[in-house]
């Protein structure tokens, strides 16, 4: 948990209690995050004043391996659902999934008046909402650096920033209590691909002395300036020229500028381009429609044409740079891709860095590619095959110097990153008592150009999405999956005749993933006897199926833990049929008879 800023506490009136300065008043502007603090993903920042809430971004977090079967992690929208009577509008800074991926889940639970999104993000959101029934006609208003959104209490303006996707915006929010600058994801690149950052507008905002800056912390631990995207483009073009065989380039589908540069390099080298991976195909399709990606139909290949095109005229762009098992590159490496089979001499370029936690997956894919005889090029000190879309330490200092805020709140990063950004802010002269390192749900109070931290907070939990379920029930399902993975399952089959309130035979216990049955016959038999005795006692009186199941669980679970120190999921199965039980008994006897072994030789 972040440290509380006790040094901002104080007295406004000597007759008031000590804590009242931090108590929320009706005229205060509240600032809080429901996602994006202490994590890289599910960004969602809220600005609330009386009956209006301005929401900036609504993203998802992609689950790690420990979240078994979970598709997405989204913020807990509980507070916004409770505030459904308040007017809410959503502002999007750019079109990456960790900023727009949660929109369908939010719209299904919360009334949003309108979504304001830059051009490329709008196209991506429309594509996403078209896949969700009932959301196709959501009102999305296109914005740019000159746009202004005005409501009763908020005025929202924008400025261009540089990121790895077109149409990336920073946000200036004016409230009755002061001004807030939200950078979104950004970097500074003096030779950018696409639109340049609006340094003049940022400097002008700094002259106006905004009250609070909320700034991207992802690369807080990276020294110096990041490499220019143009250098990466030059490196890829040089590789294209030198390579005499088929070329496969793997990168993030979300890095639209990189994909554009790869395509332009391929066209310059007279290579035909083919794209694999659903997300990559979507981005290229939208990029061509938006005019961000320039390639003629005649320079594109279809899968059918691939086999009939000379290898030195082919450039394959695909997903899978993070070693995702179902992505195109992993299937190519494993030899299971429908259209591409590796040949000795193929060159594979990883135009990305492994995200922390993905290194072993990436290494496994690289190893398989080498085994197939391919040449693999990855980012190293010897080349510039990748650059980040997030500001490093020196770029963060430049943003702080341009905006010159009175107060600072690092956002979009793990706790370590937020603390490193805090240190950077102190280095450029922001007093440590004016810096707030918060967690999801913590509330800052903006009151008459002064920032305080509230002594209470909103719910800021994770919600796990399995399929399209957004009820939060997947959280309970996930718990069961973890128990199954660690401790296994024990099913107890009970035969009763409810008419005479009698157990027809001793319970049968079946185990999966709990113990090795052959070595645990004694344990299973003892468990069957103990459960049988407990049921016999329970059925001396009239009972219900639910009570019988509870009886099985409460008897068996402590016994199994005492014997094995494991807590398997116990599932009682009650069969209320004499005929069925006779069949089960016969099957049980047959299974226990020793089999005849034919030892004769022909």
Q: Which of 470, 466, 446 is nearest to 78 (CA)?
A: 470
Question: In this structure, what token pair is assigned to residue 345?
Answer: 């001499």
Mean pLDDT of 3-27: 52
Cα separation of 216 and 399, whole Å?
10
Mean pLDDT of 20-41: 90
What pLDDT score does 10 carry? 33
Look at 34-38, 195-199, 217-221, 323-327 and tell me which has the smallest mean pLDDT: 323-327
Mean pLDDT of 237-266: 94
Look at 127-136, 155-164, 467-476, 544-553 and tell me which has the smallest mean pLDDT: 467-476
389 is known to lie in a ligand binding site: yes
What pLDDT score does 468 carry? 58
What pLDDT score does 253 carry? 92
69 is known to lie in a ligand binding site: yes
- Percent of all residues in the chain with a pLDDT value above 90, rounded to a whole number: 63
Better-scored residue on pLDDT, 389 or 461: 389
What pLDDT score does 3 carry? 36
Do residues 46 and 53 lie in contact, with contact meaning Cβ atoms separated by under 8 Å?
Answer: yes
Q: Where are the alpha helices (DSSP H) in 219-311?
A: 229-242, 256-268, 278-290, 303-306
185 is known to lie in a ligand binding site: yes
What pLDDT score does 585 carry? 63
The structure tokens 């997300």 sit at 279
What pLDDT score does 2 carry? 37
pLDDT band at 599 (very low <50, low <70, confident <90, very high): very low
339 is known to lie in a ligand binding site: no
576 is known to lie in a ligand binding site: no
Q: Is the pLDDT of residue 222 over 60?
A: yes
What pLDDT score does 561 carry? 87
**In the chain, what is the straight-line distance between the N-terminal and C-terminal CA atoms, in Å?**
76
As a whole number of angstroms, the longest Cα–Cα distance in the chain is 106
* Alpha carbon 16 to its chain's center: 45
Q: Which of 342, 425, 427, 353 is nearest to 387 (CA)?
A: 353
587 is known to lie in a ligand binding site: no
147 is known to lie in a ligand binding site: no
Q: Is the pLDDT of residue 597 over 50?
A: no
Q: What is the mean pLDDT of the chain?
A: 88
Mean pLDDT of 74-88: 93
What pLDDT score does 33 carry? 97
Pick the catalytic residue from 216, 346, 442, 462. 216
Cα separation of 124 and 283, whole Å?
8
Residues 6+ apart with CB under 8 A from 186: 161, 162, 163, 168, 170, 197, 216, 390, 391, 395, 399
277 is known to lie in a ligand binding site: no
Cα separation of 390 and 377, whole Å?
23
Sheet strands side by side (includes 314-318): 272-276, 314-318, 247-250, 347-350, 375-377
Instruction: Give the containing element (helix H, strand E) for 329.
Output: helix 328-334
What pLDDT score does 285 carry? 95
466 is known to lie in a ligand binding site: yes
183 is known to lie in a ligand binding site: no
pLDDT band at 307 (very low <50, low <70, confident <90, very high): confident
94 is known to lie in a ligand binding site: yes
Do residues 212 and 180 lie in contact, with contact meaning Cβ atoms separated by under 8 Å?
Answer: yes
Sheet strands side by side (includes 450-457): 140-143, 115-118, 87-91, 52-56, 44-49, 29-35, 442-447, 450-457
Cα separation of 206 and 188, whole Å?
17
CA distances from 315 to 234, 245, 348 (A): 16, 10, 10
What pLDDT score does 506 carry? 87
Q: Is the pLDDT of residue 7 over 70?
A: no
Q: Which of 132, 35, 111, 81 is nearest to 463 (CA)?
A: 35
Per residue in 365-381, pLDDT (tens digit) is 999 999 999 999 988 76
Cα separation of 208 and 111, whole Å?
34
Exposure string of 498-512, with b = 16+ CB inside 10 Å and e = fewer, is: eeeeebbbbbbbebe
What pLDDT score does 201 carry? 97
Exposure string of 525-538, with b = 16+ CB inside 10 Å and e = fewer, is: eebbebbbebbeeb
The structure tokens 């299973």 sit at 524
Better-scored residue on pLDDT, 343 or 66: 343
Cα separation of 533 and 555, whole Å?
10
Pairing assessment for the beta strands 115-118 and 87-91 based on DSSP bridges: parallel
Pick the catalytic residue from 79, 182, 257, 390. 390
What pLDDT score does 579 carry? 62
pLDDT band at 106 (very low <50, low <70, confident <90, very high): very high
Specify the 3-state DSSP secondary structure of 67.
Answer: coil
- Classify residue 219 as exposed, middle or buried by CB count within 10 Å of its CB (0-12, 13-18, 19+): buried
pLDDT band at 340 (very low <50, low <70, confident <90, very high): very high
Q: What is the pTM of this model?
A: 0.79
Q: Which of 158, 213, 229 is nearest to 399 (CA)?
A: 213
Cα separation of 542 and 498, whole Å?
9
The length of the chain, given as a count of residues: 602
Per residue in 411-455, pLDDT (tens digit) is 999 999 999 999 999 999 999 999 999 999 999 999 999 999 998
* Alpha carbon 282 to its chain's center: 19
pLDDT band at 598 (very low <50, low <70, confident <90, very high): very low
Better-scored residue on pLDDT, 469 or 104: 104
Q: Which of 388, 395, 394 is nearest to 188 (CA)?
A: 395
Cα separation of 594 and 38, whole Å?
61
Q: Is the pLDDT of residue 22 over 70?
A: yes
What pLDDT score does 582 carry? 64
216 is catalytic: yes
What pLDDT score does 514 carry? 85
390 is catalytic: yes
96 is known to lie in a ligand binding site: yes
Q: Is the pLDDT of residue 6 over 60?
A: no
Structural domains of the chain sorted by starting position, each given as residue range(s) with its CATH number in brackets: 28-224+388-465 (3.60.15.10), 229-377 (3.40.50.10710), 488-590 (3.10.20.580)
pLDDT band at 583 (very low <50, low <70, confident <90, very high): low
Q: Is the pLDDT of residue 19 over 50?
A: no
Better-scored residue on pLDDT, 496 or 203: 203
What pLDDT score does 16 carry? 41
């Amino acid at each position: 948990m972040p440290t509380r800023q006790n040094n901002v506490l104080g007295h406004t009136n000597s007759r008031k209690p000590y804590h009242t300065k931090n108590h929320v008043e009706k005229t205060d502007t509240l600032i809080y995050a429901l996602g994006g603090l202490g994590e890289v993903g599910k960004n969602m920042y809220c600005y609330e004043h009386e009956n209006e809430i301005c929401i900036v971004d609504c993203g998802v977090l992609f689950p790690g391996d420990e979240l078994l079967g979970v598709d997405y992690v989204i913020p807990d929208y509980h507070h916004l659902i409770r505030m459904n009577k308040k007017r809410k509008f959503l502002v999007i800074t750019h079109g990456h999934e960790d900023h727009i991926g949660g929109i369908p889940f939010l719209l299904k639970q919360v009334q949003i008046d309108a979504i304001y999104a830059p051009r490329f993000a709008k196209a991506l959101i429309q594509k996403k909402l078209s896949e969700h029934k009932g959301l196709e006609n959501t009102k999305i208003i296109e914005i740019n650096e000159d746009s202004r959104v005005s409501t009763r209490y908020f005025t929202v303006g924008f400025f261009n920033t540089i990121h790895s996707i077109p149409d990336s915006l920073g946000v200036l929010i004016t409230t009755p209590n002061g001004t807030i600058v939200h950078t979104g994801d950004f970097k500074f690149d003096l030779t950018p691909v696409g639109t340049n950052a609006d340094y003049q507008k940022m400097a002008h905002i700094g002259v106006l002395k905004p009250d609070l800056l909320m700034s991207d912390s992802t690369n807080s631990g990276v020294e110096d300036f990041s490499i220019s995207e143009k250098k990466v483009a030059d490196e890829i073009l040089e590789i294209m020229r030198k390579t005499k065989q088929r070329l496969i380039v793997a990168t993030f589908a979300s890095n639209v500028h990189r994909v554009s540069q790869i395509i332009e390099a391929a066209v310059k080298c007279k290579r035909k381009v083919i794209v694999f991976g659903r997300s990559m195909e979507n981005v290229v399709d939208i990029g061509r429609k938006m005019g961000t990606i320039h390639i003629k139909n005649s320079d594109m290949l279809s899968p059918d044409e691939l086999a009939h095109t000379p290898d030195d005229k082919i450039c394959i762009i695909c997903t899978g740079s993070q070693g995702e098992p179902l992505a195109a590159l992993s299937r190519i490496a494993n030899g299971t891709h429908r259209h591409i089979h590796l040949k000795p001499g193929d060159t594979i370029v990883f135009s990305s860095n492994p995200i922390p936690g993905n290194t072993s997956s990436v290494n496994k894919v690289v190893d398989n590619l080498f085994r197939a005889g391919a040449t693999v090029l990855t980012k190293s000190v010897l080349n510039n095959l990748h650059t980040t879309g997030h500001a490093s330490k020196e770029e963060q200092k430049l943003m702080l110097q341009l905006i010159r805020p009175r107060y600072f709140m690092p956002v979009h990063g793990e706790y370590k990153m937020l603390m490193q950004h805090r240190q950077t802010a102190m280095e450029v002269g922001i007093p440590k008592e004016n810096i707030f390192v918060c967690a999801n749900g913590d509330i800052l109070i903006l009151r008459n150009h002064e920032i305080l931290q509230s002594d209470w907070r909103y719910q800021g939990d994770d919600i796990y999405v399995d399929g399209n379920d957004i009820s939060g029930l997947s959280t309970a399902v996930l718990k069961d999956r973890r128990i199954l993975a660690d401790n296994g399952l024990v099913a107890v089959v009970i035969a009763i005749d409810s008419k005479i309130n009698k157990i027809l035979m001793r319970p049968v216990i079946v185990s999966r993933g709990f113990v090795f049955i052959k070595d645990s016959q004694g344990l299973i038999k003892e468990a069957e006897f103990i459960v049988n005795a407990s049921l016999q006692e329970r059925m001396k009186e009239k009972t219900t199926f639910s009570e019988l199941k509870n009886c099985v669980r409460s008897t068996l679970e402590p016994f199994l833990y005492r014997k094995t120190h494991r807590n398997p999921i116990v599932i009682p199965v009650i069969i209320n049929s004499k005929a069925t039980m006779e069949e089960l008994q016969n099957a049980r006897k047959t299974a226990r008879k020793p089999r005849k072994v034919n030892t004769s030789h022909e």
